Amino acid sequence: MAADRSKFSNKFGFIAAAAGSAVGLGNIWKFPFEVGNGGGSAFLIVYLVFCFVLCYPILVTEIAIGRKSQKSAAMAFKPLGHPRWSIVGILGVFCGVLILSFYNIVAGWVLGYFVEMLLGNFDIGKNFGTYIQDIAEVGGYTIAFLIATTYIVSMGVTKGIEKASKLLMPVLLAIIIILTIYAFTLDGASEGIHFYLVPDFSKLNLNVIYRALGQSFFSLSLGLGAMMTYGSYLSSKENIASAGVYITLADVGIAFLAGLMIFPFVFSQGLTPEGGAGLIFITMPGIFETMGPTLGVVIGSLFFLLLAFAALTSTISLMELPVAYMVDKHKIKRKKAVWYSAGIIFLLGIPSMLGNGYSEYFTSFITYVGAEKPVNFMDFVTDVASNTLLPFGGLMVSIFAIYAWKRQKLFKELSVGNPNFTKTFLSRYIAFSLKYICPPILGIIFIITVLEIFFGVKIL
Ligand code: PFF
């Protein structure tokens, strides 16, 4: 990519693509069920604090590292004069592959649901548990989705992603707003809103904090270099600090709205918010059914189609990680690198696919020391890759920025396209967070969770 490194055409193009990476299944599928499992509003508040206090400064730093180095994640540290830090980028590539291995399967469910909605099969929601065990069907949609991702990435990303994101993100937002308004009119809506918005801090515990942290990094596509890679396609005219604000607001805003949409639906149907990974898949078809056969089919299929597109703009950025690594580092041709990556991602995804009830072994894959119930393979990969390694990647980025690259150089890059940057409040905010908040908080949570969750050592 280096020689013909393409650029986003303007700030809006970059923001749309980066927000497209950020906004995905994480906001509309994962966020609501994490909120449901984490006790509602308590989770929401911790998540929001993490997004603004920790994630925004790290987001801006990742973009700056990418733009300065003009390289993708694994290669970005070398041109900045710190080749040893490349290990952080390589870890990010590994993480991206792991995340994509299960993300792609959920995207396959979305594609399958799109077809079921088109056919007017609203009962699919009640049959979610059996649907995801249908390996032939789920496997087929998963492969279809992977091929779509592979195709776009093999074409070179800029035009495809930028165009698609600019068009689809606003439509997705519009449909969520319409569904949220509809949700508010339903019986039981106020109970849902209460669960979502009225804080109950008695629900706060280490696990909620751990999951909220993982969710904030996952949701903003941070800690694995995806934003570095996108930053490397950003022109020097653009103001990174303000682009970062828009990306964060778009991401958090859509997740927040998704919660406002889903909890009234959940309560209006007499379901429980702890529905787990199936929450939207179980709830939404029933809601579309209440809209009547024609409108239900139109809105239902549109909803899952747009969700599939939101997922696609995220899978593209995940796939770009191993592909750019193979191209930059091992000089493999882009087209080949894309297919190699797709093969590895598909194979790694098989245990996640089987772990939804089809194979007992992968369904009850591991019981953490001291935990009551085993988790399935997909949850295990989520815990390792997204809840643990992403915040760890963020920790490394903050340490790198302050102690290796140094604040002056970071600020110099952030001033490109924004000459007054050092005089702004944001510059002080970013510097303070990177130095005094990110390393201690991320470091402490990382150590405690690894010891407690994976090794059963009781600390708190
Ligand atoms: N941010 C995406 C989502 O919320 O669905 C997931 C994701 C994409 C995570 C890209 C990490 C990444 F690099």
Asked if 212 and 50 count as a contact pair (C-beta separation under 8 A), the reply is yes
User: If you ran DSSP here, which 8-state letter would residue 74 be given?
Assistant: G
Facing residues of 375 across strands?
366
What's residue 157's pLDDT? Answer: 62
Q: Which atom of ligand 1 is nearest to the CA of 219?
A: 4
Determine the residue type at 251: D
Distance of alpha carbon 211 from alpha carbon 206, whole angstroms: 9
What ranges in 360-432 are assigned the alpha helix state H?
Answer: 360-363, 377-381, 390-399, 407-415, 425-432
Mutate to test the pocket of ligand 1, among 219, 224, 252, 325 (most ligand atoms within 8 A of CB): 219
pLDDT of residue 369: 82
pLDDT at residue number 160:
67
> How many CB atoms within 10 Å of residue 97?
21
pLDDT of residue 329: 85
Cα separation of 407 and 416, whole Å?
14
Q: Report the C-alpha gap between 396 and 443 in whole angstroms.
A: 9
Residues with CB under 6 A from ligand 1: 21-22, 24-27, 96, 99, 218-219, 221, 224, 226, 314, 317-318
Please state, in angstroms and rounded to a whole number, the distance separating the CA atoms of residues 428 and 241: 12
Ligand 1: atom nearest CA of 29 is: 5
Find the 317 Cα to ligand 1 centroid distance in Å.
Answer: 8
Q: Find the helix packing angle between 240-268 and 11-22, rounded to 10°.
A: 40
The CA distances from residue 46 to 50, 212, 216, 413, in Å, are 6, 6, 9, 30
**Given ligand 1 and candidates 33, 62, 314, which is best to mutate, with the most ligand atoms within 8 Å of its CB?**
314
On whether the CB atoms of residues 104 and 145 are closer than 8 A, the answer is: yes
**What is the distance in A from the centroid of ligand 1 to the CA of 143?**
19
Q: Please, how many CA atoms are within 13 Å of residue 227, restricted to the half-sphere of its CB?
A: 33
Best residue among 29, 99, 105 to mutate for probing ligand 1's pocket (most ligand atoms within 8 Å of CB) is 99
DSSP state at residue 259: H
Closest CA to 65 of 414, 365, 300, 334: 414
In whole angstroms, what is the distance from residue 332 CA to residue 316 CA?
19
- pTM of the predicted protein model: 0.93
**Nearest to residue 346, comparing CAs of 131, 114, 150?**
150
DSSP state of 366: B
**DSSP-derived 3-state class of residue 375:** strand
Q: How far is the CA of 100 from the centre of ligand 1 (A)?
A: 9
Q: Please name each of the domains of the chain with its CATH number.
A: 11-350 (1.10.4160.10)
Residue 269: the pLDDT is 87
pLDDT < 70: residue spans in the chain: 1-6, 157-161, 460
The model's pLDDT over 148-185, given as tens digits with 9 standing for 90+, comes to 999 988 887 666 667 777 777 788 889 899 999 999 99
Residues 6+ apart with CB under 8 A from 240: 60, 63, 64, 67, 231, 234, 413, 414, 416, 417, 418
State CA 449 to chain mean position distance: 20
- Ligand 1 pocket: which of 25, 145, 228, 318 to mutate (most atoms within 8 A of CB): 318
- Cα–Cα nearest to 244, from 260, 259, 230: 230
Cα 12 from chain centroid? 20
pLDDT at position 152, please? 87
**Chain centroid, CA 99 distance in Å:** 9
Contact at 8 Å (CB) between 6 and 158? yes
> Alpha-carbon distance 305 to 58, whole Å?
31
